[in-house]
Structure 1
């Protein structure tokens, strides 16, 4: 069982007096506090520290934590260039990189990003899968790649990752297509369903797809992306999270929690809710802190860290087959 945290790399999570260089200290503190992974997210629309730059900075500053993306959008980068960057981060971190990837979705974080990147919106899922297949081929030393969309010949030698075959690649999303594709070719699953029952159902479908593809289900990491805020005063905590949701997504918490996993309340309430997801099968929880300003982020980091022993203990013996 792993508990990770998403670094607040977006300016919407900072106060005017915050120093972005404190993100390195935040990552170090998270590692010391018992978190097993540090994740960053990716965008061109929302101002933030670029994802792979952040991971490269964290690689020499941390010792053992997994470094991950939640989620990286490959269409924002040239495929071969991205393969080089990812292999380099895996090398610099001693094989600690894990990537969740996605193709974006309709709305503010979807089609406009494709336009900015000069990449067609059509066939975006096939393009994503081919990009991942290309990365793996390059990391194995292939000199060419012939897909339906991406076709490259005479590829010179590229940087090899620390681990043979490259870092694990997870897929975000919970549509039937995403579940089937995860079962066929990805190393993990990172959705954010508001209802733990939907998580359990999706995991069951994913495992069925993996079995049909001749893969071992235990080779696919079931992860969860969830926004968390702990507050002894439940109403105050909801108000604070609402301010975070409006600043980050432009919508109130009541709307956000209809489409994403959101857990707020006292420590006991958060433990109970996260326990529902671990009972549904989640084995790597990536927490996003619902707070604005680095001081508040640090406070919430410690509050969540205090729950790690209880959350990880509660999952024992409850892994659904």
Structure 2
């Protein structure tokens, strides 16, 4: 059972006088408090520190925590250069890199990125899968690659990552096709379903797809991306999460809760709700803390860390 935290790399989560270099301090504090992973987001929709740059800064500043992306958008980068950057991060972190990847979503949170990247929107999922296959081939020493989207011959020797097989690669998304692709090709699953029952259903579909592909179900790490806000007053927690939803997505919390896992309330209420996802099968929780300045994020980090023993004990009881 792993419990991680998403670092607030976007300017929408900073107050006017916040120093972005404090993100390193936040990361160290989270690791010290017991979080086993530190994740960053990847986007062009709002100003933020670039994901791989942030992880490069974290690699020498942290010691044991997994360094992850939630989720990386590979189409924003040239594939061979990205493979080199990722191998470099895996080396600099001594094998602590985990990549959750995605292809983007319709609407303003996805399609405009393709225009900026000069990459076609059509067949984006096939392009994503092929890019991941290319990365793995390069990390294994391939000197050529010929797919539907990428054609390379006489590829110079690529930098090998810390682990011979390369960093684990997870997939975000919970559509039926995403579940099949996760079970067939990926090392983990990072969705954010609002209902724990949907998590159970999705995980079952992944296990079926993995078995059909000749893989064991435990080859896929079941993770969860979940927004969290803790307060002694449940109404205050709800209002703070609503402020976060409006600042981050331009929509009220009531709308965000329809499409993403969001848990607010007292420490006891949040623990109970998160444990429902643990019961549903989640084994790596990536918590995004609903805070709009770095001091509040630090406070929420400490509050969430206090939940870790209860989450671990619930997992142990579940066997």
1:127-142 paired onto structure 2 within 5 Å = 127-142=127-142
Counterpart position of 2:204: 204
Q: Deviations over 1:59-80 (max 9, x none)?
A: 0000000000000000000000
The corresponding residue for 1:144 is 144
- C-alpha displacement at 1:45, in angstroms? 1.8
Q: What SS is found at the alignment partner of 2:316?
A: coil
Residue matched to 1:279 = 279
Specify the alignment match of 1:114 in structure 2: 114
Please identify runs of 4+ aligned residues in structure 1 that moved more than 3 A.
none
CA distance in 1, matches of 2:282, 2:216: 17
* Cross-structure match for 1:303: 303
Whole-angstrom distance in 2 between the partners of 1:89 and 1:144: 23
Tell me which residue corresponds to 1:37.
Answer: 37
1:259-274 equivalence runs, <5 A: 259-274=259-274
| Count of residues in correspondence between the two structures | 319
Inter-partner Cα distance in structure 1 for 2:220 and 2:317: 19
CA distance in 1, matches of 2:133, 2:61: 30
Give how far 1:317 is off. 4.3
Partners of 2:2 and 2:161 in 1: CA distance: 23
Q: Equivalent residues in 2 for 1:73-222 (5 A)? A: 73-222=73-222
Q: Distance in 2 between matches of 1:203 and 1:121?
A: 27
Q: Aligned partners of 1:75, 1:149: CA distance in 2, in Å?
A: 11
**TM-score relative to the length of structure 2:** 0.99
Which range moved further: 143-152 or 8-17?
Answer: 143-152
1: distance between equivalents of 2:72 and 2:157? 24
1:19-54 deviation per Cα after TM superposition (whole angstroms, max 9, x unaligned) = 000000000000000000000000112100000000
Hey, what's the Cα distance between the residues in 2 that align with 1:70 and 1:158?
A: 25
User: What is the distance in 2 between the residues matched to 1:112 and 1:53?
Assistant: 22
Give the aligned partner of residue 65 of structure 2. Answer: 65
| Partner Cα distance (1:240, 1:211) in 2 | 43
Unaligned runs of 5+ in 2: none
> Deviations along 1:73-102, whole A, 9 cap, x unmatched?
000000001000000000000000000000
The equivalent residue for 1:245 is: 245
Rounded to whole Å, the distance in 1 between the matches of 2:236 and 2:277 is: 25
CA distance in 2, matches of 1:158, 1:65: 26
Q: 1:54, 1:44 → 2: CA distance?
A: 15
Give, in whole Å, the separation in 2 of the partners of 1:231 and 1:152. 54
Q: Which runs of 5+ in 1 are unaligned?
A: none
- Give CA deviations for 1:5-29 in whole Å, capped at 9, x if unaligned: 0000000000001000000000000
Measure the CA separation in 2 of the matches of 1:120 and 1:250. 26
Could you tell me how far apart the structure 2 residues matched to 1:144 and 1:109 are?
Answer: 34
Cα-to-partner distance string for 1:263-284 (whole Å, 9 max, x where unaligned): 0000000000000000000000
Secondary structure of 2:318's aligned partner: coil
Aligned partners of 2:318 and 2:179: how far apart in 1? 22
Tell me how far apart the structure 2 counterparts of residues 29 and 12 of structure 1 sit (CA, whole Å). 21
Cα drift, residue 318 of structure 1: 2.5
Deviation sequence 1:189-247 (CA, Å, 0-9, x none): 00000000000000001000000000011111000000000011111111111111100
SS of 2:120's partner is coil
User: Aligned with 2:273: secondary structure?
Assistant: helix
Cα distance, 1:151 vs. partner? 1.3
